[in-house]
A and B are shown apart, each in its own frame.
Chain A
Amino acid sequence: MDLRDTPAEADFRAGLRAWLAANLTRELQGLRGGARRFEEFGREWSRKLYDAGYIGLTWPEEHGGQGAPYSHQAIFLEEMARAEAPGHIGVIGLGMAGPTIVVHGTEAQKARYLATILSADEIWCQGFSEPDAGSDLAAVRCGAELHGDRFVVNGQKVWSSYAHIADFCILVTRSDPASQGHKGLTYLIADMRAPGVEVRGLRQITGEAEFNEIFFTDVEVPVENVLGEIGSGWQVAMTTLLHERGTMGFSLTAVLEVSLRKLIALARERGADAVQRDRIAQLWIELQALRYTNYRALSQLMKTGTPGPEGSVSKLVWSEANQRLTKLALELLGPEAPLLEDDAPLGGYWQWHQLRSRGNTIEAGTSEILRTIVAERVLGLPRGR
C-alpha cells in the first residue's frame, strides 16, 4: 500500500498539468457538454488532447491508443476536472461505443471506427432508452427487420446526448418481432446521416437541450454494421453499460472536488451557521471516502484486470452527494438563490448545477436500479424479478 503517485505517475501528472497550463484557455475553462459554445470549440479542443497523446490512454496501441496503465487514465480524469477543462467531445464513442467495438467488433469495424473516435473526427450517440424502455432496457421495441443484406429500422429512442451532432449511433433494436425480453435483440451501428433519421432536441430542467429524441423511419442499416451476432444484442449492450458505469468514478469525484472547493469559498465569503458547517464537513468527508474508494477499486483493477465490487457504489454515492452539495450552495446564497445566469453570483454556476444534479440519480442507471444491482450482484440477495 502506498497512496502516493509512483515516479512514473508523478511525471505523467506533472506533464499533464504543464500541458493544461499552456493550452487550456480561459474561454474553454468551465464549458460543459451541451452548451452551444462547447460544440463550437469542442472538436478542436478534443483534437488537441488527442494530438498531445491524452486520448485513449488505456486503449490497446494497435487501435491507436497509448496502452498506458489505468492509473494514468485516472490521473487524466482527475487533473482535467480539477483544471475545469472540458472533456473530449466524443464521450459516448470513447467511453461506450469504442470499448464495445474493441470487445465485440470485427476487424473491419475496428479499422473503420476506432481511430476517428479517438481523434474526434466522428461523434457518437447512444440509442438505448425508449419511451417505454428506461430502466427496463429489455423492453426495447425499436424494430429492425432483415431484408437481404440490410436491416430496416423503425422506432424511437430518447435521452440521447450528442445525437444532434452525432455521426453514428450505437443502437439496440428488436430484430425478432416475436421475441420478448433479453432475446431477439440486435446491436447495430447506425449512420445518423442516413435518410429517415430525425433528431429533436429535448429541453431539460436547466433550460438547455443536452439530449434528444431520435426517430427512425425506414432507415437502412447494412448487415455488416451488426455489432456482435444477430440476436445477441443484450450481451453486447451489457458490455457497453459495464464501461459506462465502470470508468467514470474518477471524473465524477474530481468534479465534486471542484464544486466543494467553490462551496468552501462561498462559505468563507458569506459565512455559514453551525448546521451548514456540519453539512460542509460531511460532504468533504464523503468526497475523501469516494476518492479513496476509487483508488481501492483502481488498485484491484490494475492487479487483477477486473475492478473491485467497491467501485460499484461510486456513482450511487456521488450522485446523492452532488445533490446535497448544490442544494447547500443555494442555501448559502440566501435570497439570491432564484436568480439566474449573469444576474446570479458566479454567472449562475450554482443554479445550473443544482438543477442539473437532479438528473444525476436518474441517468446512467437510476439509484433504484443501482441499489438493486448492489443487492443482487454484490451482496448475493435473491432476485426479485
Chain B
Amino acid sequence: MAQTTELAVVRRRQGASVIDMPAHIDITSEATLDTAYSEIDPQGSLLLNFTGTEYINSSGIALIVSILARSRKEHRSVAAYGLSDHYREIFEVTRLADFMGVFPNEQAAMAGKQ
C-alpha cells in the first residue's frame, strides 16, 4: 500500500504488526515512529513497510536502528519490505539487512516471517 505521508501508520496483518513508514524518514520522524511503535501488538512480528518512503537520511537510519534495538530487546522479529534499490543498498552498507529480513513486498515479507 503506497503512501506519501509524513506519518507512520500501524496496521495488523495475519498476527503481525505492520508500520507503513513515512515518505521522509529523518529527525522529524522521531515522534511519529515512537508513537507507531507504541501502537504495535505487544507480541508478534513487526513488518516495516517502506513502499511509500522516498528519503531516508542518517538520522532516519538511527531511528530504524532504535526500532530494531527495541524489537530485539522484546524478542520480536523484524522484517522490511518495499525499499527502493538505493535504500536496499543502504541497508546492506549499514548492515541493517544482516539483522532484519529484507523483502520486495508485503506478500514476500509475510511468507518470510512464517
Q: Is chain B a partner of chain A in the same complex?
A: no
